[in-house]
Structure 1
């Protein structure tokens, strides 16, 4: 594997602008004056719910590949990738050209069949494991991952005639009323009265910080056993649920891959009790973990798979559920949405899937993940507050926590994010109290870009530690 960008030709430079330099460049304080002006206008006119510019104070002018440029001419290596919606980086030429061609023919098609939608369907089903392809149906949802999760819940409730839903602590499935109801984050859901009833939360197999206070080498995956006993005990208090929903890698929850034995036992249990298993792959899907879907690495076959974010490859919204045909019992119009027919997103998605196959993008994910690992492990040399380094493929997290109490080192994580930005690297935070530094680089990032990011992260952590108040974050 060379250090050339996989799956992308060099974008043609605009007549009025030089190409973006292929490395970070920050020339002053952030935000710069032009960015500050737009940020101030945004704060006056936009909803208080805005998030990313609060901790990443830049106003973006343009982007290409792994880099973005702000209004003040600063260039950043983007290891957030639009929260995972840009698997081939910004403005990938082939998918973008396919979307442009489609715009001249048909933009919106409701749920009518079209040639590009048919090709998108063929390729999407073809990305599934072979054993699933002939018995899987696809449903095109509204444009967000949350809408697709809602569709999955409705599908399973309709097919089973049941009401209860089992979800897991630490999971994130969206911010609509129903998806917030199956999301673990208490702070976000607390202000909302009248959430969807019948949701039961169980411990997720996070062995670094076991929710049951046990050790993995002696616990016999008690979280799986706890769920099994609860669902099979006639006095357990939970009627047979309509579905179990989980992320195989919790993203917003802190980049936590599920324990493999836990997932195997969960699948065996849900199959034995005839409970549909919904796997939310909104963030982990479309190649992010090194296989097209994360569930492939766990050796299971879900009943429903939710996908969105990176489906189009260029940030055009699209969302789907893939599900076992035995569940296809709902009536026409049972889950509709005006914007299900985004033809430009389908065209770009076709080009993205072809590029992923042709250019060995999944192999690049695995190679770059292997390359990144020693950079992140080296952070442990700087401080005992590097509590855990984890992830799957290029969905990676560095947990910072007090080594004595285990409490998240939130202030330190925030300083690391800020110091990284000052050096030209965009990263995100997540996990309990935002104590995890999260990386979602483009799937076709280069070896050189991984090394640049690794060096910046080390420098950022060293600078953040030097600025740490007495007694650290304890």
Structure 2
């Protein structure tokens, strides 16, 4: 450990995490690249765990933000009206909601993903008068008590220090091989002796990020929506990580053709890595009493500025088509790795730019990620046993950047397994 790194060991809590995986001091970032204090260049296939879908320091967003700051634009305003908020609201409605035939009230619950989930759970219980919420195996929804109660990871749940109640966990799509998991869910709802009360809501990620890059089939999502409608259960889609283009469309559920009752968004919504979250609410469900759910930092005007600028990427379908084309490149590369290196015992998972390889070999994915970092690529792992090394490049990355990243990943794999299979 260098002398400069010791400050983090000496002064920062041991709870720190990513600095252990990426043990260097970063000083600069642009697009899909980062540099450390020694001048070493890294390709970023991490993208702030999905908070930097447009890369680092997007030029247009930066210019808009600097201009706003230099003109003494409002920084902090709680939920008071500001020109920055008005611009975001109008643009999000015009560019994102209306073209997709979606009608939602927009709530600013606080700056983080767990804030939007907490507000969604609270509102679902208020609307229905019911207490329980159904979540799904390997789901991750945040680290505060309500969000943690619908999160599957046992280590994270243990950190709560108290019983996590009023939730029921059901099996996610393909959790049990060759079994329709929603038949299981329906059986519990239909059976008055099951011990499962009709819940206020079901909360689900269409692609589970931290849980192992598990992608629910579109037909599974459609059936889930129909079950919710049948029983009067609110459907909450957690699009905190999978949204904002990460899976190939702005909302991750678009190609499933469903319309959730409540949508949770954060991470890349600001476009610039600034803390920002929204909860999208079906208008008839917006029954809050003024101030019933509030917070000091629910009016991040700097994020309004960059978020509004980021929506220019979505004014037509050009960017979306580019993302989908590059997604195919990524998928083909991962498929090739699984076929070329059978020692991986790998399975390609995910959708769009939210993909990875799950390896059955204990600890191998962590080793591949660590080796990639040595070679100049930032990539993390996911899953209950960190069995998946996942690719989360910025959506704006060039084909050249992707190919450079692919080369480092393959070199990392090759250094840790036997010789590749050749024809």
TM-score of the two chains, using structure 1 as the length reference? 0.85
Instruction: Tell me, yes or no, if the aligned pair for 1:159 and 1:330 is still in contact at 8 Å.
Output: no
1:128 aligns with 2:94: no
1:96 aligns with 2:62: yes
Matches within 5 A, 1:169-180: 169-180=137-148
In the TM superposition, residue 151 of structure 1 has moved relative to its aligned partner by 0.3
Structure 2 SS opposite 1:455:
helix
1:391 is matched with: 350
* C-alpha distance in 2 between matches for 1:38 and 1:170: 37
Instruction: Tell me, yes or no, if the aligned pair for 1:141 and 1:319 is still in contact at 8 Å.
Output: yes
1:44 to 1:359, Cα distance in 2 relative to 1, 3 A: farther
1:375 aligns with 2:333: yes
In the TM superposition, residue 321 of structure 1 has moved relative to its aligned partner by 0.4
1:45 aligns with 2:45: no
Instruction: Tell me, yes or no, if the aligned pair for 1:375 and 1:455 is still in contact at 8 Å.
Output: no
CA deviations over 1:10-31 (Å, ceiling 9, x no partner): xxxxxxxxxxxxxxxxxxxxx7
* C-alpha distance in 1 between matches for 2:380 and 2:126: 37
1:86 to 1:359, Cα distance in 2 relative to 1, 3 A: farther
CA deviations over 1:40-87 (Å, ceiling 9, x no partner): 210111111111011111110111111000011110000101111112
63-72 or 93-102, larger mean C-alpha shift: 93-102
1:252 aligns with 2:220: no
1:433 is matched with: 385
In the TM superposition, residue 466 of structure 1 has moved relative to its aligned partner by 5.8
1:322 to 1:100, Cα distance in 2 relative to 1, 3 A: same
1:189 is matched with: 157
In the TM superposition, residue 425 of structure 1 has moved relative to its aligned partner by 0.8
2:84 is matched with: 116
1:20 is matched with: none
Unaligned runs of 5+ in 1: 1-30, 403-408, 468-474
1:328 is matched with: 286
CA deviations over 1:386-421 (Å, ceiling 9, x no partner): 42112111111111114xxxxxx2x21111011111
1:142 is matched with: 110
Number of aligned residues: 415
In the TM superposition, residue 102 of structure 1 has moved relative to its aligned partner by 2.2
Structure 2 SS opposite 1:415:
helix
In the TM superposition, residue 129 of structure 1 has moved relative to its aligned partner by 6.0
In the TM superposition, residue 159 of structure 1 has moved relative to its aligned partner by 0.7
* C-alpha distance in 2 between matches for 1:261 and 1:374: 24
Structure 2 SS opposite 1:263:
helix
Unaligned runs of 5+ in 2: none
In the TM superposition, residue 38 of structure 1 has moved relative to its aligned partner by 3.1
Instruction: Tell me, yes or no, if the aligned pair for 1:387 and 1:401 is still in contact at 8 Å.
Output: yes
* C-alpha distance in 2 between matches for 1:318 and 1:341: 9
* C-alpha distance in 2 between matches for 1:129 and 1:464: 50
Q: 1:421 aligns with which of 365, 369, 373?
A: 373
TM-score of the two chains, using structure 2 as the length reference? 0.95
Q: What do you get for the CA RMSD once the two structures are aligned?
A: 1.6
2:306 is matched with: 348
